[in-house]
Structure 1
Amino acid sequence: MTRRQFLRNSAAVGIGLAAPSLLTTRSRAAESLVYIGYGGSTQDVINKVFIESFTKETGIEIISNPGADLAKLKAQVQTGNIEWDLVNLIGPQASAAGNDGLLEEIDYAVVHKNGPLERGQSKFFNTYYFSRGGIGFNPEKFPAGKHPTGWAEFWDIERFPGRRGLRSRPEDNLEMALIADGVAPRDVYPIDVDRAFASLDKIKRSVAHWIAETPQTVSLLQNNEVDFVFTYSSRIEAAQKQGSSVDFAYGPNFLTPGTHVIPKGTKKRDIAMQLMGHFLRPDLQAEFCNQTGSTPINPGAVPLMKAEVQANQPKFDDPEVMFVDVDWWAQNYVETSRRFLEWRLT
């Protein structure tokens, strides 16, 4: 599919946020951009908070679709058929993509137009928030004392029997496997890969679903297809607001940078830089975190957040909180991903 076909088809099926007249002429198509995220409730908030305001302020129309995937991004860059302009990737994948030559270098003179940030910046990716990964469960089915609250308990299938749900990628899984095996969160890196896989062996038979799409981490729980699942606080909180009986075990969580990257070769590089910088505005970050419970990258957003959201934020100096090391993953992603896939399929 060509870029023009992709944009035309997206508009035809109602995907994106533009007015019905979007892309009716080539000139309008030239002032549009394709944004790719992970879908679900988080992307709904992204659309409402960041995308709509960007279009209102600049007049540039954004086609916002789910489906962020490192393999697809790589295929586009290698074939020169670039369909995406700005992509939301988790930190380890973004770092690996940068090392692999798949990304445009970021122009921080444009991205940091509202002032420089100290944390989460890179030559090829820009962090705009931290997601909080942990254990999701149904509190009606598993009240206090009946569900795992940490990774050692998640691994304890005798004390907490039930169907597990884990992501179908190595990142997060290797870290939680080591913590379950007794490694302190701040001592996880560099990852002892052999020890991590030995720990994963102990829980493999209880994994009912290897989850590729982020929204499924909650939908499988809602549909009673898993009992305990690795998911994200923002996804659980969104589902709670909609009346779902789901909960999140706050405490020994993972903080993973949610980043933006620009595929190498896109013709919309300059617009993508503008949109990337738009995501860093403190007022918009505060509203995004108010609605998702996520952790902002811009410290200027914190005093603008609701008091109850601020109170539930993770503490960066908490020894039980683990920061995902994107640099380690950049160096080890390809080999570890291959081994993880082989392990899953055997």
Structure 2
Amino acid sequence: MTTTKDRLDAPTRRDLLRGAGAGAGALGAMAAGLPTLAIAQDGPIVWVAYGGSTQEAQKKTIVAAFMADTGIEVIPASGPDLAKLKAQVQTGNLEWDVIGVIGSQAIRAGRAGLLEKMDYSIVDTADLDIPPLEYCAPYYSYGGGIGYDPARHPEGRHPTNWQEFWDVERFPGRRGLRNRPDENLEMALMADGVAARDLYPLDVDRAFASLDRIKPHVSHWIAGTPQTISLLTQNEIDFVFTYSGRVEAAQRDGQSVAYVYENNIVTGAYVAVTRGSRNRDAAMRLVSYFLKPELQAAFCNIMGYGPSKSTARAHLEPEVLARQPDLQDPGTAITDVEWWAENGEAVTTRFKTWLLT
């Protein structure tokens, strides 16, 4: 059986530069339209993202095509962190060139002088379903929802929305939630009866009151996204907030996991360039590859996420297209990144304190 690892093992740089990697060559051909150009750079590009199957899929598709077309090496790293980014920019010891970020982070980081303004003369914004931001470009959207093991919790024995997730009498079991406020506040409010389309501006006090009710039943506050799956498959939790693409990757590996596609929280994923990058032009060119429709589709066909470009949907496999969250569904919550940019720092401080009490 073909595993996710088999599908995600990227060709080596030597393979890419020699044109021997068949997958990379095919993706390079799909990304045709830009000739191989000499791009000013000072060493390889360091690209930091969130790791796991998502970053591996990006390496195999988007990054592989960029390396094949340009001959520029891209070194992956995991764990983007605004505090580390700030330290790098302030000291001038830059380790990262291209950064995977969420929109609210990018807004705050851009205003703090940590990111380059996005060069939209290089990065094509045509046909975007998710609006581009001044300091970052969107390349896919992901749905966050309820994950569970169908072998342990078959139909009728697992929650199907956030009110049921909070209902520990009807659906007893260990919960897993992320160790950050974003997404937690939204689901807490929906669990308390707020409609998905009426969430913003978030009623923070009401959200924390709702979180107080579920807190005793949360056995794991999860830092790393891959753990949302590993804790589930290792029977350390029963129900978890996770992401559709992570569940679908685990399913392809034959793991007993399932996902609820209704009542999702949909968020855009963005890519940005570090302020002062010595590889600025090459970094912007890499960002432009993240927005190529064919490459977005190749990535989303692996992970099941939604592309940011409407034209990419024509290249999605039918089963992937059928699983996309319905952004017109009134039960689907769409993250307001501007609200989080304005309020995220204060809410995060409160959330960290709340976790310790």
State the TM-score, normalized to the length of structure 2: 0.87
1:29 CA drift (Å): 8.8
In 1, Cα distance between equivalents of 2:129 and 2:172: 43
* Correspondence list, 1:276-295, <5 A: 276-295=287-306
User: Following superposition, which runs of at least 4 residues in structure 1 exceed 6 angstroms of deviation?
Assistant: none
1:119 CA drift (Å): 2.8
Partner of 2:117: 105
User: What residue identity is the alignment partner of 1:152?
Assistant: Q
User: What residue identity is the alignment partner of 1:324?
Assistant: T
**Is the 1:95–1:329 contact (alpha carbons within 8 Å) kept by the matching residues of 2?**
no
- CA deviations 1:198-234 (Å, max 9, x no partner) are 1100011111111111111111111111111110000
**Is the 1:166–1:173 contact (alpha carbons within 8 Å) kept by the matching residues of 2?**
yes
Match of 2:82 among 67, 70, 73: 70
Would you say 1:341 and 2:352 are equivalent positions?
Answer: yes
In 1, Cα distance between equivalents of 2:296 and 2:129: 16
Partner of 2:69: 57
- CA deviations 1:241-295 (Å, max 9, x no partner) are 0000001011110111111111212211111110101011111111111111100
SS of 1:166's partner is strand
**Is the 2:127–2:309 contact (alpha carbons within 8 Å) kept by the matching residues of 1?**
no
Distance change (3 Å), C-alpha of 1:133 and 1:118: closer
In 2, Cα distance between equivalents of 1:103 and 1:270: 14
Match of 1:269 among 249, 261, 280: 280
SS of 2:262's partner is strand
Structure 1 portions without partners, runs of 5+: 1-14, 23-27
Partner of 1:175: 186
In 1, Cα distance between equivalents of 2:340 and 2:144: 17
Distance change (3 Å), C-alpha of 1:135 and 1:284: same
Partner of 2:338: 327
Would you say 1:145 and 2:140 are equivalent positions?
Answer: no
1:75 CA drift (Å): 2.4
SS of 2:143's partner is strand
1:116 CA drift (Å): 5.9
SS of 2:256's partner is coil
Would you say 1:218 and 2:226 are equivalent positions?
Answer: no
In 2, Cα distance between equivalents of 1:139 and 1:217: 15
Would you say 1:127 and 2:138 are equivalent positions?
Answer: yes
In 1, Cα distance between equivalents of 2:323 and 2:128: 23
User: What residue identity is the alignment partner of 1:69?
Assistant: D
Moved more, 333-342 or 79-88: 79-88
Distance change (3 Å), C-alpha of 1:178 and 1:48: same
User: What residue identity is the alignment partner of 1:18?
Assistant: R
- CA deviations 1:136-185 (Å, max 9, x no partner) are 10000000111111111111111111111111111000111000000000
**Is the 2:41–2:281 contact (alpha carbons within 8 Å) kept by the matching residues of 1?**
no
Would you say 1:32 and 2:27 are equivalent positions?
Answer: no
SS of 1:271's partner is helix
SS of 2:216's partner is helix
Partner of 1:18: 13
- Percent identity (aligned): 52
Match of 1:95 among 88, 107, 111: 107
1:16 CA drift (Å): 10
In 2, Cα distance between equivalents of 1:337 and 1:312: 32
SS of 2:264's partner is strand
Structure 2 portions without partners, runs of 5+: 1-9, 18-39
In 2, Cα distance between equivalents of 1:306 and 1:167: 30
User: What residue identity is the alignment partner of 1:267?
Assistant: R
Partner of 1:4: none
**Is the 1:16–1:64 contact (alpha carbons within 8 Å) kept by the matching residues of 2?**
no
Would you say 1:43 and 2:55 are equivalent positions?
Answer: yes
Match of 2:172 among 161, 168, 182: 161
* Correspondence list, 1:178-327, <5 A: 178-327=189-338
In 2, Cα distance between equivalents of 1:308 and 1:102: 39
